[in-house]
Structure 1
Amino acid sequence: MSKAASLFHPKRLNLSGFVNTRVIRDNNKRMAVEQHEPERQALRYMIRNTSLPGRVRAQAQLQLSQMHSYTRPTQVKNRCVASGHVRSVFRDFRINRFQFRMQALSGHLPGVKKASW
Structure 2
Amino acid sequence: MHKASNAVDGIKMCFSYNLVASSSRSTQPWLLIQLDAIYSIGKVVVYARNDRYANEANNIIIYIKDIDVSNVCGGIYQGPTFNSDVIYFMCPSESRGKIVHIQKTTRDQLGFCEIEVYELL
TM-score (norm 2): 0.23
Counting helix residues as a fraction of each chain, which structure ranks higher?
Answer: 1
Greater relative contact order (CA < 8 Å, ≥ 6 in sequence): 2
Bigger Rg, which one: 1
Counting strand residues as a fraction of each chain, which structure ranks higher?
Answer: 2
